[in-house]
């Protein structure tokens, strides 16, 4: 493996893991509500910008990070309680437009409160690159990868072993049956939005030392996360992470070996090809449509 290839791989995997985390957030909300949450990218932005803001207040890094995650989670809960819940019964396209509205509102708020400037979150453990076989990787990239792996394991545990997790899975499989079984579907929805928001915030915090952040930073990350979720098969959490890695690596290799201007296009061409041959994504369920 050449050093060049390894270098492209490192940058692809780092961004890919972030896309995967964002995609995971899409999947969780989709499972609970069938809604594609277009404000997912704004959760990512709030994580990064929130950390910058709390650091600015003089809080130590770990506290600032937790505060930013808590703030974003509150917004997730709020989105469900004040925007999605009151519109219950509206069709899915309407709900999607509501989340688009929410994303505009969150960007608008961030712009008014935190300003329009770009900010850099300090890296967690320095920015002295580590050299591996001629290629370099930032310590922050290792943080991104490590925490993504931990989160994936923790989520698996949550969904398979805890009552709450099982309730979410049950709701996603069959909402009516879940309700009949005594699961509080509204509460499941509420928790799902909070959980997605927290995941988005973590992704934003992890990646902003590398990519910088401002009030509009969530737009692109949100879009790529959506790609990841679709590529992996909507609703399949592990699929979203895999999808994210594929998108990230395809982009990096495209920029490295093909034409850098077309690297975003490469990711989308890949997705179209996959969808044409596997209409439910790589790891999606190909069930029959309910009539």
Partner 1 sequence: MTSRQNSIKKTIAALGMVAGAFAVTAQDAQAADPIKIGTFLSVTGPASFLGDPELKTLELYIEKLNEGGGVLGRQLELVQYDVGVDSKKAITAVKRLISQDEVDVIIGGSTSGATMAVVPLVEKAGVPFISLAGAVAIVEPVKKWVFKTPHTDKMACGKIFEDLQARGLTTIAMISGTGGFGKSMNGQCTKLAPAYNIKIAISESYGPKDTDMTAQLTKIKGVDGVQAVVNAGFGQGPAIVTKNYRQLGMTAPLYQSHGVASKKFIELAGDAAEGVRLPAAALLVADTLPDGDAQKPVVQAYSKDYSEAYGGSVSTFGGHAYDGLQIAVAAIVRAGSTDKEAVRNEIEKTSGYVGTGGVVNMSADDHLGLDLSAFRMLEIKNGDWSIVK
Partner 2 sequence: MEKLKSPRTGGILVLCAIIAILPAFLSNAFQMEIAILIFFNAIVCIGLNLLIGYGGQISLGHGAFVGLGAYGSAILSMGQGWDPLLAMVIAAIFTGVLAFVIARPILKLKGHYLAMATLGMGIIISIVINTEDQFTGGPDGMYVDGLSFVTKQIHWYWIIGALLIFSVWASLNLIHSPIGRALRAVHGSEVAAEVVGVDTTRFKVMIFVVSAVFASVVGSLGVYYSNFVTPDIAGFFHSIELVVMVVFGGMASTFGAVVGAAILTTLPQFLTFLHDYEHLVFGLILMLTMIYLPKGLVPTITAFFKKGDKS
Residues in the site for partner 2, rule: CB under 8 A? 30, 36, 83, 86-87, 89-94, 97-98, 100-109, 111-112, 223, 226-227, 230, 234, 261-262, 264-265, 268-269, 271-272, 275-276, 279-281, 289, 291
Asked if 139 contacts 127 with a C-beta cutoff of 8 angstroms, the reply is yes
Instruction: Classify burial at 11, counting beta carbons within 10 Å of its beta carbon; exposed 0-12, middle 13-18, buried 19 or more.
Output: buried
d(CA 240, CA 189): 20
Indicate the residue among 111 and 280 with the shorter CB distance to partner 1. 111
Stretch that binds partner 1, among 46-54, 69-77, 154-162, 256-264 (CB under 8 A): 256-264
Residue 4 binding partner per list partner 1, partner 2, none, with a CB distance cut-off of 5 to 8 Å that depends on partner kind? partner 1
Residue 270 in the binding site for partner 1 (CB under 8 A): no
Residue 11's binding partner among partner 2, partner 1, none (Cβ under 5 to 8 angstroms by kind) is partner 1
The pairs formed by 268-274 with CB atoms below 8 angstroms and a separation of 24 or more are 268/227, 270/231, 270/246, 271/227, 271/230, 271/231, 271/247, 274/231
Q: What is the DSSP string of 11-73?
A: HHHHHHHHHHHHHHHHHHHHHHHS---TTHHHHHHHHHHHHHHHHHTT--HHHHHHHHHHHHH
- Identify which of residues 36 and 188 has a Cβ nearer to partner 2 in the complex: 36
Residues in the chain: 291
Identify the residue among 24, 29, 240, 255 touching partner 1 (CB under 8 A).
Answer: 255
Q: Is 252 in the site for partner 1 (CB under 8 A)?
A: yes
Q: Which of 13, 14, 99, 250 binds partner 1 (CB under 8 A)?
A: 14
Q: Which does 105 bind (CB under 5 to 8 A by kind): partner 2, partner 1, none?
A: partner 2
């Amino acid at each position: 493996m050449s050093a060049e290839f390894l270098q492209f791989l490192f940058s692809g995997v780092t961004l890919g893991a972030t896309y995967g985390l964002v995609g995971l957030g899409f999947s969780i909300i989709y499972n609970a509500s069938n809604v594609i949450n277009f404000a997912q990218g704004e959760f990512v932005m709030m994580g990064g910008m929130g950390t910058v803001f709390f650091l600015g207040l003089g809080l130590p890094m770990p506290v600032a990070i937790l505060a930013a995650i808590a703030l974003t989670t509150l917004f997730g809960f709020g989105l469900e309680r004040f925007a999605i819940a009151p519109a219950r019964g509206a069709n899915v396209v309407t709900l999607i437009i509501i989340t688009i509205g929410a994303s505009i509102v969150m960007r608008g708020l961030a712009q008014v409160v935190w300003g329009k400037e770009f900010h850099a979150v300090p890296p967690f453990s320095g920015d002295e690159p580590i050299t591996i076989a001629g290629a370099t990787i930032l310590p922050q990239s290792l943080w991104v990868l490590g925490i993504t792996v931990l989160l994936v394991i923790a989520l698996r545990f949550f969904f398979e072993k805890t009552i709450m997790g099982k309730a979410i899975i049950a709701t996603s499989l069959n909402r009516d049956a879940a309700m009949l079984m005594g699961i509080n579907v509204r509460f499941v929805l509420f928790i799902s939005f909070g959980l997605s928001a927290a995941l988005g915030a973590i992704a934003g915090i992890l990646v902003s030392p590398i990519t910088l952040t401002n009030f509009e930073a969530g737009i692109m990350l949100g879009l790529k996360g959506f790609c990841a979720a679709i590529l992996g098969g909507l609703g399949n959490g592990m699929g979203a992470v895999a999808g994210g890695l594929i998108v990230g690596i395809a982009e990096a290799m495209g920029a490295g070996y093909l034409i850098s201007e077309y690297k975003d296009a490469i990711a989308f061409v890949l997705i179209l090809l996959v969808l044409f041959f596997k209409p439910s994504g790589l790891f999606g369920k190909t069930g029959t449509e309910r009539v």
